[in-house]
Chains A and B, each alone.
Chain A
Amino acid sequence: MDPKLLRSQIEQIDTLPTIPGILRKLLAVIENPKISLTEIGNFISNDPVLTSRVLKMVNSPIYGFPGRISSVQQALILLGLNVVRGLLLGVSVFEVMQKSMVGLWEHSLGCAVTARIIAKKKNIPEPEEISVSALLHDIGKVVLILRFKEEYERVIKEAELKDILIMEAEKEVFGITHAESGAWVAKKWNFPLSLVEVIEYHHKPSLSKTVTIQSAIVHLADILTRSVGFGFAGDNYVPAVNPTAWELLDLSDAELREIIDEMDHTLQEAGDFLLGDESG
């Protein structure tokens, strides 16, 4: 497919009739670059499903503020507009993920948990921002699924039949991978450049110019989440770690072990939340 045409078709997914209502409403709000904190706060508060999902997420072990955040306004103050916008997008694509690739939601949450743990271990400021980038790193898969459902089903089948990585199958069918399509929409939806770059380079973190360390963290979080066999991202294989990113993070065996132990512990505690149960 012609990448230019592909890009413009993907950038227009918010006009698709098949797009979930919750996501369409959200995109209308987040695409407006002039939106204020109060406006976005009111928008979320008026939607009980969104409110409950975002509060559940920030109060789950995934973000480590257990039980402390009781309102959307408080979440906005504590976490900032960009993190909340990212969380909103994450919880709004939950159904698409559940329906089209069972395990992708778990994979995304696993990466969010792991990225926060690595960022804290490395004393990187604003671990929540890195965690949200990790939550959204595979958003490109969701937009490809939304826009090109049949073609993406072929990608999934091909990855399985040919026993290749999902990104290799994407390249064969689309000529691009979910890293590109994700970066296109993140830019279109006015997400900060740091988030766009992390999404774009989560397979090749050493190409990231402004957020090299953050990209390296999300890259490793992706690999570790697949390494422990948590969730499903389209194939059952662990992609190779980028040596430059690995050296940049410079983790000892003991640190790596601590990270994996904490991942395991946090993901088990988050178990109820991970099931995506909407009752609570």
Chain B
Amino acid sequence: MQRIPISELKAGMVVAKAITNESGMVLLSEGTTLTDSLIVRLGRMDLSHIAIQGASSSDKSRAELLSELDHRFEKTGKERYMDVIKGVLKARIEEVFQ
């Protein structure tokens, strides 16, 4: 899940978290696929970002993200406890692309 600015929304993206109005009424439920007309309506609301499923803030591929992660941990990945940190980060990347 990533929070995407309203201006960068595109039709076909899937809402990851229900969008509610001030009184808590659900306007768009989790799992809704955005259409152009929905995006126009979202633009009229007082929202800056919405949560989108599976999106990544960059357009990097899974392979790119994993290789960058490997590179950052290249010198210290084998040190004590570094596998724990790297493991959590790897799991997050994998989830995004599921």
Contact = CB atoms under 8 A, between A and B. Distances in A.
Interface of A: 165, 223-224, 226-229, 236-241, 243, 246, 253, 256-257, 260-261, 265, 268-269
B74 A246 contact: no
A15 B4 CA distance: 46
Main secondary structure of the interface of A (DSSP, over half): helix
A82 B2 CA distance: 35
Contact of B3 (A229, A236, A260, A269): A269
A253 B84 contact: yes
B19 to A, nearest CB: 16
A268 B2 contact: yes
Contacts of A260: 88-89, 92
B57 to A, nearest CB: 7
Residue from A236, A238, A260, A269 whose CB has the most chain B CB atoms within 10 Å: A238
B84 A240 contact: no
A257 B88 contact: yes
Interface residues of B, number: 24
B41 interface: no
Given A268-B2, A268-B49, A269-B49, A238 B92 contact: no
Nearest to A271: B5
A241 B79 contact: yes
A90 to B, nearest CB: 25
Contacts of A229: 68-69, 72
A256 B85 contact: yes
Contacts of B2: 268
Interface in B57-85: 57, 68-69, 71-76, 79-82, 84-85
Contact of A240 (B76, B87, B88, B92): B76
Residue from B72, B74, B92 whose CB has the most chain A CB atoms within 10 Å: B72
Contacts of A228: 89
Given A241-B79, A268-B57, A223 B72 contact: no
